[in-house]
Every structure is written in structure tokens, then in C-alpha cells.
Chains A and B, each alone.
Chain A
Amino acid sequence: MAYVIQGETGDWEVVCGLEVHGQVVSNAKLFSGAATAFGAEPNTQVSLVDAAMPGMLPVINETCIEQAVRTGLGLKARINLTSVFERKNYFYADLPQGYQISQFKYPIVGEGTVILDMPDGTTRAIGIERLHMEQDAGKSMHDQDPRRSFIDLNRSGVCLMEIVSKPDIRSPDEAGAYLRKLRSIMRYLGTCDGNMEEGSMRCDLNVSVRPVGETELRTRTEMKNLNSVRFVMQAMEYEAARQVEAYDAGETIVQETRLFDSNRGETRPMRAKEFAHDYRYFPDPDLLPLVLTQDFVDRIKADLPELPDDKKERFIADFGLTPYDAGALVASRRAAEYFEAVAKGRDAKTAANWVISNLFGMLNAKGLDIEANPISAENLGRLIDLITAGTLSGRLAKDVFELMAETGKDPETLVEEKGLRQISDTGAIEAVIDELIAKNAGQAAQFREGNEKVIGWFVGQVMRSTQGKANPGVVNQLLRDKLAK
């Protein structure tokens, strides 16, 4: 179902493109040998090159090139064997050179595609325009002093990949799905850790609207450096609505950069008057064109891990999972690997349910990452085995699951410790049932008169007196037998 905004005179659609800046996973910076790790003391990860001292020169990091190619392949994009670094010239305190080394006319990666898994199970293809490499800037701190700002250049020179989508995104949900998919791909490949709170992945949003049916693109506005998926979606929703209102009121949309106020969920124009930037791009004369061989690209391609889309296809084909379930499992490579370990030699659907509903639910509730998962795949697998073998009831298994999360112990140990073995011995259960029926003749009579609901009460009572350990299937069967008499 298409996302439309109902204006006064008709329906409008949103046209959105996203520019994502991802910090490349590498030990050292793009053009200098300083470290890239997050959180160091100010200016301790700065070389003379990063500080733009007189006479300093850039030398390129081979791993950064590989990571960009790897990401391009993950985006099913064309790798440009020849690309050129250009200088983007402007003045700002966090840009010591007075220019950023970037790529302009000839980026390293060309057009590609990202497939989105929508919540309703459908897929959508979002076009990628290009990916290029560039230097990150330093950090300015403005809140420490009333008259001065402080500059930390640790981040200056870290390699960024700028990934530009085509304006194919049509709803906030799609924007969210796109960002999550992009992040997932980069994490699968190990090229960017996609941590938006820490700033290793940042997003610029371009939004315009147009009446449904119109094909021309109208003026767009830009919101920069949004650092959460939620903010991107909120900003898009707000801005699209604002633009429709403006058009309805007979106003024009000005091409501008706007700020997103995350507290209010609104966008507003920037305070400072924005002058047009003239970046005066030209090829960096300190560098030569980057020329890759097809061989180099092929070797990287051969070494790629199985990517989410392919893994999802395989899960559907081999494990018979629904696209939705498969999609949920492949969102993270670790989670997918975890699932496969749990599903090995077991019923895939059961394994999928436990991982998606219970495990992911538990991780969410505890605010944990899959990396910090306290329940090993082996243990979860063994829990499932206990249920399959009838040793543990499904209901009590959930309790054991909680305990496993708390203690990290294996299920067998916990079952023994807590004495949770399922009672399937019909003799024992019959004894409990007989006593119960004897003491509750009235309810027994109600059942015989046709009140089905009473059986639930009886089951509950049996479960209570057996501390939940009675096998519910067996209890139900025996109750019906005995009550029928």
C-alpha cells in the first residue's frame, strides 16, 4: 500500500533519497597512519598529515580500498576500475587542510541495488547511485566556552564511504528498512559497524513531495547528520507533511538545509544564513588516479561471505521458512549463524520460533546485542530437544529459558536443579485427577452437562498441584476420559 499524504486538493507522494556516510572498519586512516579507534583522548590519534602541517602529503591505505570495493559488491554495484580523488575546497575549523580529499566525477563504485524486506513480506528494490571514499572531518566542541570552540582532530582523516541512494524511497518505513538493510550488509561484510549513536554511520536525508501521478521531481530540502533510524523516519514524515501544507497554501519550497529538532520531531530552517558553497573540485595533484585490476576485484568477490539476500533465499528454500521469518533471522549475520547452529538436526520452524520470538525478545528486553547473548546456540538447541523428547513441557521450557538467560547454565542442569521434569507418568497424573474430581463433584457435573470451559479450570488445578510439571497433553486426555465416565 503506497504511502500518501492527503492534501487539500488531492494526494501527494514523498520522494526521498538518502546519503549515508559510513566509517570504514580499518586500523589506520585513509591517507595517514594514525589510529581510527573511537573514544581516544583529544588529538592523540592525529598525525602531522591529519593536522595539515606544512609540507605534509597523503598516502593511501590499501585496506580502505578493499573495504570500499567489498561494500560495492555487497550493494550489487558496478566497481569502477579507475577512480579519481578530488579536493573539495571549503573552510571550517574541523577541516585542517581547507579541503577534504573526496571523489567527485569518478567514484570507485557506480550504480547498484539494495533489496528491502518490507514488514508485509514484500520486497522493494532501492537504487544506489554511487559509493565513494572520502576523509572524515575532525570534531568541534561548542559548549565548553562562551566565546570559543575547541577542535579535536582524532576523527580527521578517517576513511568514510559515502553511499548515495537514488530518490527511490517513498515512505518513512522504506527509509527505515533501507537504513537497516544497508547497515546489515556492511556489518555482514565487516566494512562498517553501522553504529549510529557513536557516529560511525550518519545519514543525510533529501525530501521532496509531488502530487501522485506527477513524474517530475520538485524542489527538495535536506536534513543532515541524522544519527538514528527513528530520527530519519520522523524527519521525513514531518518534512513531507510540511511541504504538502506549504504547497496547499500556495507557497514555494525553498531548496535549503534544515535542522531536525529531535525533541519536537520538527524540522526548521538553519539560523545562520546559508551561502552557496562553491567547492571548486579538482583532481588532487598529490595523488594519482586509483587503478584497480579486475583480478583484484574478483579476488575480493570470491572471498565475500554469504550476504543477507542470498542467505534469506537459502533459508526459505532449505528450511522452509516464511520470507518474514527468514528475513528476521538474516538481519544480522551473527543471528543467522546462531539460528543455523540451533536448527541443525532439528525442526527448523521450531528453531526459528524460539530464536525470533524468545531469544530476540529476551535480547530486546535486556537491551543486549546478539554479541552479548547469554544463551549459547548449543544450550538453546538442547532445550528444544528436551521439549521434543517430552522431558520438559512447553510452558515450563519458557521458565527454563529465562533461567538460562539469567545464569548461562545449560537446560539439563537447570531442569534437575529445579526439579522441573515433566510428569508424563499417567499413573501419577490419574491419581491427582481422581482426587480432584472427587473433591469437585459440582464442576465435574457441569462438564458432563456440556460446559466445555470447566475443563480448563480442571487442567489449571492439575497443573497447580503438580507445580506445572504435568504434561498438559496427557492431563487433558485423562481428564476427558475420567470426566466422561
Chain B
Amino acid sequence: MKKTKILAAVMALCLAIGAAGCSQTASQSTAAASTASQQQTDTVVVAMNVESEPASGFDPAYGWGAGEHVHEPLIQSTLVVTNADMSIGYDLATDMQVSEDGLTWTVTIRDDVKFTDGEPLTASDVAFTYNTVKAESTVNDFTMLDSAEAVDDTTVVFHMNRPYSTWPYSMAVVGIVPEHAYGPDYGQNPIGSGRYILKQWDKGQQVILEANPDYYGEEVKMKKVVILFMSEDAAFAAAKAGQVDVAYTAASYTDQTIDGFELMAVKTVDNRGINLPAVEEENSIGNDFTADVRVRQAINIGFDRQEMIDNVLNGYGTPAYSVCDGMPWYSEADEVTYDPQKAAALLEEAGWTLNSDGVREKDGRTASLNLLYPMGDSTRQALAADMANQLAELGIQTSTEGVGWDTAYDRAQNTPLVWGWGTHSPMEMYNIYHTVGDLARYSPYANARVDELMDQALACSDLEESYALWQQAQSEEIVNDVPWVWMVNVDHLYWVNQNLEVAQQKLHPHGHGWSLVNNVDQWTWNQA
């Protein structure tokens, strides 16, 4: 009797382990059913991570393209697009003007565009789309928009609540939906005017996209795109079995090889960094140790980013110095060189002296830091561990702790957390460094000059001018204040069939997902 109970318990454990394996087998069988595309020259099968499947469907109002992880919506057209260098180009738009006070944007659009149901796309669809996302969007901020108005068939006017120079970057991710065919189930049956039509969506498994035959832009070369949603190890197995043409992967797989596949590393602005609370602790907000600016500066120059990349990312990453490395609004003044001597000197200056155990002390307190990381993210855990090892060499006793996202935001108010950011808009910088009330939102920090410069940047009527102001905020203030320490930009890694030509990628934003297929229409197969 007792023996059977133990047996049952052991079996329950095995079952739990087995259940985790089941999901993989399920997705693998779909892959087998839908592929063998190498023979066809205009089909590609891509394995993407499970989180990339849009939970609320392909509706821009609920995060498709314009959510936490920005990407081109493919099924819908956007007014403008971001170019490879993150400047703004036109998609539906033909011209874009902003008034001197920054409160009115006037955009004219093409008159030759049709939705895939045959109806023409007009300015009223554009206005409808923006008024809808403003009212509905829970994932993106559209509070700066008052309303959108169609003046005639090809002119739409955006009335803003406040000047917002980065508006074109918002327009680059909002897919235009048809007013006549929009409803609660639009996300399941999207109609757009983009390069692809949603042909099939098997939830939890795959999405099949087919080229839009009436597309107004450059010819779509890849006629059919199959996206499979898989866990990391299932994607690896599927690539090995030749069931997919492209499979996302992680640094821990880079010592493997797959016959007929090459490892593609895409540079990103998908950064990882830690926040250092810049005020003294009060009511669980702030951190007494990192409140000293010299401590923050010492940490910023006191660890070797390249060593971290080699150790944790197997070399697949670039050092990060800001939240927006490589973007037009990035200031090169953010770049620092690794200098442990200077870091030690800064800590000495701040009163933290080494004791006989190699740990720094001040007034009987030891220099200690706890680094939080989101549980289940092995890369961030390893980054935290590597950071802890490097800080220990500086004499700062550092521990790591895994936290769930349910408590992470609150705990980050007084304890550094390993975050991931990086997007195609300067607004992220604003959200991280600008105060809301007394302090910035994600980590306590306040600098009136930073606020002022970023507000000026938003008020600019010229995008180029605004870049200079964003940069000024970094080079004059933020680089000295160091309220965040940026560690690495994580390369996005993919196994790619060696006969497939993947078109050149822009710097990927945070989120190892749909960004890859931003330009899937221009991918081609080499004749083997």
C-alpha cells in the first residue's frame, strides 16, 4: 500500500516531466505535415518562439505589430516605415507635415491602394484605425493623440494633445484596418492591404501567410510563409530534421551544428541592463548603496562587457552603453571603457574601503548588492551571475535572486533587476528616464535637466533636430548620473537553411520574434 503510494508519487513526477515534453511532439508533427519546402522556390517555413503567437490575434489595437515587441504588421500596411538606418520612409504615405507648434500632423496617402476584399483604402480608414487604437489599445500609449480626422480621401490630419516629435515612429507600427470590415473578431480574420494575407491560423501551432496578389508595392518574392510556434529545443530538433527552413535559437545551442544550416546572428538593440535606484531608501523606494552617484559610475566602468558576452552569450552580442545603441538618437558619449582601477578609486572616494576579506566597508556596513532576474530566463540569470562575479572583484558583495514578474516591478524600486529593452522609437528612453510625478517609473531617478531636454525633443517640429536633443540628454546628464547600467545587446540567433537568402535585417528590437520576417517578402532561394 505504502509502496504503491511512493510509486504513484514518483510517477507523478515523471508525468510532470513528460508533460513538458508533450508540447514539443505536438508541434513537431505539424512541422512534418506542412513542410518539405526546400523543393519549392517560393515558400519558407520559420520556427518562432511560442510567445510570438499573437494572443489577441492580428489586430493592431491589441498589440499586433504595435505591442511590447514592435515589428511590421505584414498583413496590414502602415503609413510610414522605418528604414535600415532607423530613418523614416513612406509606405502608404506620400507626404507628411507637422505644424510649427507640433500639435497637428497632416499626412497624405496613396490613392491606388485596395484592401484584399477589393475595397479601396481611404483616409477615413486611416482616421478610423487611429481613433480605434487610441480608444482600445491596452499595450501601447496613444494618449498624445487627441483625434484623427479624414479631410478628404487622401488626407488625414492628426490632432495631438501635446507636441510629439516621435509620432512617425508610432505610425510605423500601426497597421491600417478597414473601417467597413472591422469588428470584435477582426484579430481572427484580419483584412488588410499589406504584403500578405492570413490564410490559416491553427492556434498553438502555426500561421500560414500567402502573398497578396494585388499588393501595390514591390513584388512579393516569397509567396508563402509558414510560421510555426515552437519551444527552443523543438525548433532545434525541427531544423535538424529539415522540417523548417529557419529556426530561432539561443546562445546555448551555438556549439552545435546542423547539416545544411548556417547560424545567422542578427545584431540588435535588444539590450539587457540593470537599474540602479538613484535615491536613498524610503518606504521601500530607493537603495542606500546605489544612491551614491560614484557607486553607480564605478559599477558602469567596473565590469568587462566583452567578458560577459564571451562567458554568457558565447560571443554572440555587442556591448551595450545605452537603451538605444545604434539608433539615430543614440549618443556615442554613452560609451565607456572598462577601467577597474578607476572604478576602485571612485568607490574609495565614496568612502567604501577594502577590508581584509576583499570586501568594501563604510561605517561598519559592507558594500552589498542583490541582483534580481526574471525567473525562467536563463540568459538573464547568467548575466546576473557574471555581473555578481565581476562586482565581487571590485569588493562589492553581490548575490542573485530570481523573481516572478508579479513582484519584479515593485522590487526593482529598491533592488537592481536585469531588464530587457530596446525598441525602434526614442519614446522608450523617455519612459525610462523621465519622471512621472517625483521619480521615473521603473527605477527611482529624477533629473530636471533630463526631463527638460527630453520634453524639448518631443516638442521639436523636426525629427533631425530632436535627435540632437535626445543625444544631449544622454551626453550631458545621463552618462554622468548612470541610473541604469547597460550590459549587452543580445544577438538574435537563427538556424538558416544555407540555400535561403535572408534579406538584410534592421537592428532587431527587444523580442526574439516577428522582427525577423519584417522583410520576408524579399527573401529568396538560391537554386541549389
Real binding pair: no
Give chain A's interface residues, CB within 8 Å of chain B.
none
**Could you tell me which B residues sit within 8 Å of A by CB distance?**
none
